[in-house]
Amino acid sequence: GIQVEQSPPDLILQEGANSTLRCNFSDSVNNLQWFHQNPWGQLINLFYIPSGTKQNGRLSATTVATERYSLLYISSSQTTDSGVYFCAVLGNDMRFGAGTRLTVKP
Amino acid sequence: DAGVTQSPTHLIKTRGQQVTLRCSPKSGHDTVSWYQQALGQGPQFIFQYYEEEERQRGNFPDRFSGHQFPNYSSELNVNALLLGDSALYLCASSSGVHYGYTFGSGTRLTVV
């Protein structure tokens, strides 16, 4: 099946800093989603982005499908951005990376 | 617009018992997928149901089985529970198999 690798595994930032999370995948995919998992386990969809660039407030994402990677940008980070960010790709089914645990310190 | 609803939210079972988890998809969605998420790990794909049939299956033993009903809701059954089955079980729905997924809040299963 498709392999999904996320980096870095852990990221610690001061409030106000910017960050870039990366997702590499091993094969062509039908779609790609970025999720934020809150402390209660709910996976919140951030972006549905099989290709191209999208922006939503302080967050933006870019997927280069031909090179099999996606990037999630978080600007002016806030403590509420803390949590685990997952990239998931859809081939025949949706496969998740191991996640990036982001901690934003005040 | 109701999202994906899972029940129960928490469950404690004894090793060897059987458990049934339930999922109601988002309105307009016809495809349901189930995932197991162990502590500190990413969700692992269990199986997917579409048109009341199992369409895809991940690397899980036959103790894990499921069902999809005509109203698109779904059940996940796990027999002969093991301690290692303790996890957060997530249900996701989509419109067809190739579009964005919406996840429920999950059922946290503890096997003692």
CB contact (8 A) between residue A94 and residue B101:
yes
Please give the structure tokens belonging to residue B22. Answer: 């339930």
Within 8 A of A33 by CB-CB distance, chain B residues are 100-101
Mean pLDDT of A76-100: 92
User: What pLDDT is attached to residue A89?
Assistant: 92
Residue A76 parent element (H or E):
none
pLDDT value at position B1? 54
* Structure confidence at residue A84 (pLDDT): 97
d(CA A63, CA B33): 24
Whether A48 and B100 lie within 8 Å, measured CB to CB: yes
CA count, 13 A, side-chain hemisphere, A7: 4
Contacts of A99 in chain B (CB under 8 A): 42
Closest-CA distance, A1 to chain B, in angstroms, reads: 9
B88 → closest Cβ in A33, A41, A94: A41
Q: Of B42, B44, B98, which has the smallest distance from its Cβ to A99's Cβ? A: B42
pLDDT attached to residue A94: 83
Q: Can you tell me which residue has the tokens 């039908």? A: A30
Cβ contact (<8 Å) for B42 and A96? yes
Nearest to B100 among A33, A86, A92 (CB): A33
Please give chain B's pLDDT, 112 residues, in tens. 569 999 999 999 999 999 999 999 999 999 999 999 999 899 999 999 999 999 989 999 999 999 999 999 999 999 999 999 999 999 999 987 667 889 999 999 999 9
Question: B108 and B7 in contact (C-beta within 8 Å)?
Answer: no
What's residue A30's pLDDT?
81
Cβ–Cβ below 8 Å for A30 and B37: no
> What pLDDT, on the 0 to 100 scale, is given for residue B75?
98
What is the spatial distance between Cα B110 and Cα B27, in angstroms, rounded to a whole number? 30
Domain span at A8: 4-105
Instruction: Please name each of the domains of chain B with its CATH number.
Output: 5-111 (2.60.40.10)
What CATH number does the domain containing A14 carry?
2.60.40.10
In the prediction, which pLDDT does B97 show? 67
Shortest Cα distance from B69 to chain A (angstroms)?
20
pLDDT at A29: 84
The segment with the largest mean pLDDT, out of A19-33, A90-104, B78-92, is B78-92
The pLDDT of residue B2 is 64
| Structural domain count, chain A | 1
User: How many other C-beta atoms are found inside a 10 Å radius of the C-beta of residue B72?
Assistant: 21
A83 touches chain B (CB under 8 A): no
Instruction: Give the pLDDT score at A1.
Output: 79
Q: Rounded CA gap, B93 and A26, in Å?
A: 24
Predicted pLDDT of residue A12: 97
Q: Which tens digit of pLDDT belongs to each residue from A29-85?
A: 888 999 999 888 889 999 999 999 999 999 999 999 999 999 999 999 999 999 999
CB contact under 8 A, B45 and A98: no
